[in-house]
Amino acid sequence: MRLALQSAGLGGLNWVFAGRVRPCHLSKALFMPFTSLGLSPALLRAVSARAFLTPTAIQAAAIPAVLQGRDVLASAQTGSGKTAAFALPLLQLLQQAPTEKPRRVRLLVLVPTRELAAQVGEEIRSLGQHLPPALKVAIVFGGVSINPQMMNLRGGADIVVATPGRLLDLTEHNAVVLSGVAALVLDEADRLLDLGFADELSRILALLPTQRQNLFFSATFPPAVQALANQLLREPIHIDAPAEPEGEPDITQRAIAVDPGRRTQLLRHLITHHAWRRVLVFVATKHAAEIVADKLRKARIYAEPFHGELSQGKRTQVLADFKASRVKVVVATDVASRGIDIAQLPVVVNYDLPRSAQTYIHRIGRTGRASASGLAVSFVSADTEAHFRLIEKHQGVSLPLEQVEGFAPLQTAPNVAPSDSDAPSKGGIKGKRPSKKDKLRAAAAAAGDSQGD
């Protein structure tokens, strides 16, 4: 069954059941109160404490379906409220089941990154804080010592939020048993099926009981995600949630032409000239993150790299310092493009363009959050302009290619090599479809960024 929330102008939404379009008034679909969704008083109290006024599109569609025990395949963008969309109904179902001693894992949430594990786990704890009886939530991920996590799992847990690698480590240490899982959530399912996660996911699925509720949430549905959904989901409800009309991010996008070798100089100029308070800069590789951050520090701009080879303690500290404005610039690989919520982040810079238009959307979505305005700047060189036009086409926008005085590009022919080490972007964007070798290189880089997760 497909349940798609499609825009139907100002008058309402269309609910699509099995290909038949049925109109539903907007006030009934999106402006319904949480009290109409069948949630318990304890969960409604948690919703009220979080100042959630009305459910988002994904919440209005998913909560009733999950409460009915249905499998769900949901398309939802970052910031759409999807964590509450699955957490609220699953918490209610867990509350209704008898508590066992020792506790056994009944809800398993798999996520691709450490930061997303912490964020999702803390939100589940917050939403379930008023439930009688209290449910134990364990958050586990790599990059930190396994011993405290094993100690925390003594006596069991009702809910585990985990990255795949560390979860398998814990099962091998007999610290967690998955045979009692009643519901499985794959959050950011497309990232979970990147190279490096698919094999681990298969091993985890083999440890789960056959009879369980499955929920897949993803911003995109590449063939690998669709194939897994076809294999595991039983008569799922398909939910396509549009962006919230009142929550459309206010992001100004700019594209600046610059030669690859002058990008760091241009970045320094923009930061100082515009007095940017905090900037998240995306690069293609871990090496580039280290090099660019180092050059900014030498120019007395406090910057830190952020990538998958850093220890979890360092990654946590960098994010904490960035959120507190103790660090002005974070230079990151795409490990930071999803699941990281930094309030009032004013600027995102694409130092290297991403390989896909979807990743571009996730990157710039780090700014302009929670009704704040934001700026997204992309550096475009002669050999990446064709790729940037593909990104524009995917978004349905057309941006003028600006020039900054003193940084006008000299290179005009495509595929001109960078002039110095300011462009350490092996596997950078080319103005054409990536070759098989390019794809393998990008997959290896993605696997490297997830190492230890």
* Interval 155-168 mean pLDDT: 95
68, 210: one domain: yes
The residues, any chain, with a CB within 8 Å of residue 433's CB and separated by 6 or more, are: none
User: Residue 329 above 60 pLDDT?
Assistant: yes
User: Residue 92 above 90 pLDDT?
Assistant: yes
Of 229, 245, 261, the last residue of a domain is 245
Q: What is the DSSP string of 32-57?
A: --GGGGT--HHHHHHHHHTT--S--H
Nearest to 162 by CA among 134, 128, 197, 211: 197
238, 317: one domain: no
Of 191, 211, 245, the last residue of a domain is 245
* Interval 395-409 mean pLDDT: 92
Residue pair 348/372 in contact (Cβ under 8 Å)? The answer is no
Coil, strand or helix at 414: coil
267, 228: one domain: no
198, 267: one domain: no
User: Partners of 350 in the beta sheet?
Assistant: 282, 378
227-245 pLDDT, tens digit per residue, is 889 989 999 999 987 655 4
Residue 127 in tokens: 């939403």
> Into how many domains does the chain fold?
2
176, 311: one domain: no
224, 268: one domain: no
**pLDDT tier for residue 381 given thresholds of 50, 70 and 90:** very high
Question: Looking up tokens 């020039």, which residue turns up?
Answer: 403
Of 212, 245, 278, the last residue of a domain is 245
pLDDT (0 to 100) of residue 5:
46
pTM, two decimal places: 0.65
214, 319: one domain: no
**Domain extent for 294:** 249-449
Based on C-alpha coordinates, what's the Rg of the chain?
A: 23
315, 237: one domain: no
The residues, any chain, with a CB within 8 Å of residue 165's CB and separated by 6 or more, are: 142, 200, 450, 452, 453
333-355 pLDDT, tens digit per residue, is 987 766 567 778 999 999 999 98
Instruction: Find the range with the poorest average confidence among 14-18, 175-179, 209-213.
Output: 14-18
pLDDT (0 to 100) of residue 81:
84
198, 327: one domain: no
pLDDT (0 to 100) of residue 407:
96
pLDDT (0 to 100) of residue 443:
54
Residue pair 83/422 in contact (Cβ under 8 Å)? The answer is no
CATH number, position 115: 3.40.50.300
108-124 pLDDT, tens digit per residue, is 999 988 888 988 999 99
